[in-house]
A and B are shown apart, each in its own frame.
Chain A
Amino acid sequence: MQEKITQDMFVPVRSDAHKQEYIARKHHSAFHDGWIRLRKNKAAVVCAVLIVVITVMSIIVPYTSPYAYYETDYKHKMNAPSSEHIFGTDLFGRDQWTRVWYGTRISLLIGLAAALINLVIGVFYGAISAIAGGKVDAVMQRIIEVLVGIPSLIIVILFMMVLPPGVGTIVAAMAVTGWVNMARLVRAQILKLKNQEFVLAAQLLGTSRWKTILRHLIPNTISVIVIQVMFAIPSAIFTEAFLSFIGVGLAEPKASLGVLINNGYKALRSAPFLLIYPAIAIVLIMVCFSIVGDGLRDAFDPRMKR
């Protein structure tokens, strides 16, 4: 039995170019990609959660605690930790539990504020320098090269001694030279992107200058910025603690972790617990930020992809 061969058996199957190129896997943006990699990094996730917990606690505890951070009680000076005062009391009978959390709040605030100021100045400076190019870039880079040579700690200490003590002063003093690194990183990143094919393609297709900057250059720089901020926060917290420790930081009864560590150090012989708790707090915060920072860098820095 032979089947009849008809013409319609030889109609070519129309191929759909779209269907051929169809990618079944869901589309991931670069961010989503990084996010997936970050989630796999358990240490970073744990630390990120810890940072959130610490931040929330530092906001809540001073409000809910029965004691205020400045409330003195001379009948209970330097009490060891007990159910009434979880971390004990300090030289003036102030509740250390409240003070540690309050200090954490101030320290985090300073770290965040300093990092944000560095971010704003640094990103604008770096971006303008890189995008403008030419003479503007040359001049701006010479300015940076001059600023890089300034030993920042000396200048910060001088500022702290000249201006009245307070959170604002500390942040301002750190902002004087703190933004330089961010500016350099952002400039380097944008310079690298500026000459890549996708930017050229965008320009060829008639994308306006501003849209190129906003849609193509800035989003590709964000990972660099975020990573730098994650490292800037602990370094600002450290600088503040250092300044308070050598006595040019915040003034009593305000407390930051640095102030608490300084007070604890002075009372170390009779009440070591006064140093231990704020010390643990600052170490925990620094460890968490640096691990999350590392995690972010591994996740978002394409060069680190293996």
Chain B
Amino acid sequence: MARYIGRRLLYMIVTLFVIVVLTFVLMKILPGSPFDTERFEKLTPEQQAAALERYGLDKPIPVQFLRYLGNTLRGDLGTSFYYTNIPVTRVIFSRLGPSMLVGAQAILVGLAIGLSLGIVAACRHNGFVDNFTMVIAVLGISVPNFVVAALLQYYVGLKLGWLPIGFWKTWSCSVLPSLALCFQPLATAARFIRTETLDVLQQDYIVTARSKGMSQARLLLKHTLRNSIIPVITIMASMVVNLLTGSLAIESIFSIPGIGGLFTESVKNNDYNVIMGLTMFYSLFYMLTILLADVTYSLVDPRIRVAGEKEGE
């Protein structure tokens, strides 16, 4: 296990390096410089050149890259150009909260509803709940969340006026965006848990447990769920990252000051250090979550040895 995790961490470092190189190159190809945006309009060309020199941006790209790499290894991600001289880590963490809140709410609501729907659907196979769940599952995956968000904003926010839209102050502002985001995890969870539960319910040990008179609830929670939850964990891992780190479209629709918005903003302003910092943060978060999911399997199901091959039946 320790060796497995160690190997995975090694890959992560390589992956991170590839991402850093790729992002750095792409970023430098972007037209413009950090100091020719509206915010720095008043700077004369000489002042702009001076600013570039001060941050070492006049050097050849490989030199800049090595310097950046060196600083990063020492734990210094640099400062933002746009938010003058504020450290990148602080810029990112100040925008992290709203994204996390909306994402976490969406995941929790989606999982809770999705899992219960899926399990009930499997118990009443081909019944009303089952058909209903399948329709929800197909729709939830097919309807883009920004369309849901736009419609929710228009009908619930504007027409009915039930919930606030267009600003970010109180908790109630996070309800609509969370709702818009929760459909995808809901649909995915419902779909996978349904298929798996159906599969498990047909197995001999379930029949045995049933014949011994075990109650349905106990049967589902103690005997079925543990086996059927595994694929859901796999699927959810990458979804968690996507949601927690903010869906760009949702953030712009509901004007949430999250890190999705920060990313596009920083790319538009050529805020190099923020782009790099954010990409690294996102990638690390992504890879760690997937690793965590892989390790979680073996905890939920001791039969799966993480290092070994995962063979089908």
Contacts and interface: CB of A to CB of B under 8 A. Distances in A.
Interface of A: 142, 145-151, 153-155, 157-159, 161-162, 234, 238, 241-242, 245-246, 248, 261, 264-265, 268-269, 272, 275, 279, 282-283, 286-287, 290-291, 303
A151 B18 CA distance: 12
Nearest to B191: A294
Given A246-B249, A246-B264, A291-B138, A154 B143 contact: no
A287 B139 contact: yes
B147 A279 contact: yes
Nearest to A159: B26
Given A154-B279, A246-B264, A290-B141, A149 B147 contact: no
Nearest to B285: A151
A283 B11 contact: no
B279 A162 contact: no
Contact of B144 (A155, A158, A241): A241
B113 interface: no
Interface in B253-276: 253, 263-264, 267-268
Nearest to B242: A153
Interface string B232-258: 000000000110000011001100000
B297 interface: no
B147 A283 contact: yes
B12 A149 contact: yes
Contacts of B267: 157-158, 161
Contacts of B150: 261, 264-265, 268, 275
Contact of A146 (B11, B26, B144, B279): B11
Nearest to A176: B22
A145 B27 CA distance: 24
Contacts of A245: 144, 146, 249
A268 B138 contact: no
Interface in B129-156: 138-139, 141-144, 146-147, 150-151, 153-154
Query: B138, B241, B252, B290: which has the most chain A beta carbons within 10 Å?
Result: B138
Contacts of A303: 312-313
B26 A151 contact: no
Contacts of A238: 144
B48 interface: no
Contacts of B154: 268-269, 272
A72 B157 CA distance: 32
Interface residues of B, number: 44
B286 interface: yes
Given A145-B11, A150-B15, A155 B22 contact: yes
Nearest to A257: B144
A289 to B, nearest CB: 8
Contacts of B19: 149-150, 155
Dominant SS at the B interface? helix
Given A150-B19, A151-B241, A282 B26 contact: no
B147 A261 contact: yes
A245 B247 CA distance: 12
A145 B253 CA distance: 35
B73 interface: no
Nearest to B147: A279
A269 B143 contact: no
Nearest to B137: A290
A54 to B, nearest CB: 14
A244 B312 CA distance: 39
Query: A148, A241, A246, A291: which has the most chain B beta carbons within 10 Å?
Result: A246
A142 B7 CA distance: 11
Contact of A158 (B18, B23, B286): B23
A154 B263 contact: yes
Given A146-B18, A151-B283, A157-B267, A261 B138 contact: no
B283 to A, nearest CB: 6
A158 B313 CA distance: 41
A150 B248 contact: no
A45 to B, nearest CB: 16
A130 to B, nearest CB: 14
B287 A157 contact: no
B158 interface: yes
B263 A157 contact: yes
Contacts of B138: 287, 290-291
A148 B287 CA distance: 9
A205 to B, nearest CB: 28
A57 to B, nearest CB: 19
Contacts of A287: 138-139, 142
A269 B153 CA distance: 10
B29 A149 contact: no
B2 interface: no
Nearest to A238: B144
Contact of A161 (B30, B151, B153): B30
B93 to A, nearest CB: 18
B142 A286 contact: yes
A290 B141 CA distance: 9
B142 A158 contact: no
A242 B248 CA distance: 9
Query: A145, A150, A242: which has the most chain B beta carbons within 10 Å?
Result: A150
B146 A261 contact: yes
Interface in B149-204: 150-151, 153-154, 158
